Amino acid sequence: MSIEIKKGLMGVTVDETSISKVMPEINSLTYRGYAAQDLCANCGFEEVAYLILNGNLPNKKQLIAFKKEERADRKLSKSLIKVLKQIPKKAHPMDVARTAVSVMGLEDKETFDNSPKANMRKTMRIFAKTPVALAAFYRLRKGKKIIEPKKNLSFAENFFHMCFGKVPNKDIVKAFDVSLILYAEHSFNVSTFTARTITSSLSDIHGAITGAIASLKGPLHGGANEEVMHMMKKIKKPENAEKWINKALDNKDVVMGFGHRVYKSGDSRVPTMREYFGKVAKIKKDKKFEKIYDILEKVMIDRKNIYPNVDYPTGPTYHLMGFDTDFFTPIFVISRITGWAAHIIEQHSTNKLIRPLAAYNGSKYRKVIEISKR
């Protein structure tokens, strides 16, 4: 009897979720039923984080309380700061994120409590401290002093403040906020499924998020936004773009930032992120990467009928904001913590150990021959 193998679990439905869905009827990614682009237009990131974690958009009182809790949890322990100072400056920031969350797990008094209320409290601490830890490392590796978080700044504003010592104009902050909203959640992607798999063994939330970060690091997942920027830097200028992309396609090279397992006719997040990419480029008076973007996109669609995914506009947007390329995926992390945590809590609510089968294709039964006769 032959067994059908579903490589990469392609097309396999393994569980249910109420957190997000790509709804074909409106051709959009939705969070708890709301279209992501509508949330970008009408909400700040903190509102969307509340929605993903709690199931509904907050009223004013709930939002104030949520922001107050997040801001109160930002301060890092002395021991975590000491660890950050000891990390090699050449370390990839994704590894720093993973280490920081692990240290938080060592310090948290509720690490072993998987009750819904404890997991929500731990989520808020991880959510608040991870960007602070990453911003601290951003400074440390440049030989600069750590900047303390400020409670009077929004989630996005505080990250800019801690990385650069200043908050940019409101349009830049809005573009960053939009990127966080678009990255916040995306159903059973590889990092989220990793988090749910770890959780299914009744492991702790810090361990599950650490595993998710390791999964997100890969260039076929979160690391794609970094690879997009590396690609654009190789191209250097718009005049080189058409020749470069055609050569890459002729050689059957992988072009990062295009295609998606879920979207076949275009990632619904792209138009919104592309709009804000253009706004940032205009503010920064730098149209070079926009021109490269448009040329590559046109050739990919014309030749391969493959459309961009959200990493394609996000990479150059972060670059224009001033972030180092290897910090693009860590920014993804500080957003996606919300989605991961929501899935971890959901997994606990109706948990069953995730343990798939494998079709064995190794050697037939063999008898062991003693070593002197082999």
Q: Please give the positions annotated as active site.
A: 221, 260, 311
Helices (H), the chain: 36-42, 45-54, 60-72, 78-86, 93-107, 116-140, 155-164, 170-183, 190-200, 205-216, 224-235, 238-250, 270-284, 288-304, 311-321, 328-349
268, 215 Cβ separation under 8 angstroms: no
Q: Within its chain, how far is the Cα of 270 from the centroid?
A: 15
**Cα–Cα distance for residue pair 82/70, rounded to 1 Å:** 23
Whose structure tokens read 């040329």? 295
Please tell me whether residue 31 adopts helix, strand or coil conformation: strand
**Cα–Cα distance for residue pair 159/46, rounded to 1 Å:** 13
73, 125 Cβ separation under 8 angstroms: yes
Whose structure tokens read 């970008």? 40
**Cα–Cα distance for residue pair 87/248, rounded to 1 Å:** 37
CA distances from 113 to 106, 208, 274, 349 (A): 13, 14, 42, 14
Tell which residue, 162, 187, 198, has the closest CA to residue 331: 162
CA distances from 260 to 27, 104, 289 (A): 14, 33, 22
Whose structure tokens read 């958009």? 57
Q: 26: number of CA atoms within 13 Å, CB side? A: 13
Tell which residue, 20, 30, 42, has the closest CA to residue 340: 20
CA distances from 269 to 35, 147, 240, 260, 324 (A): 10, 33, 27, 12, 23
**Cα–Cα distance for residue pair 35/20, rounded to 1 Å:** 10
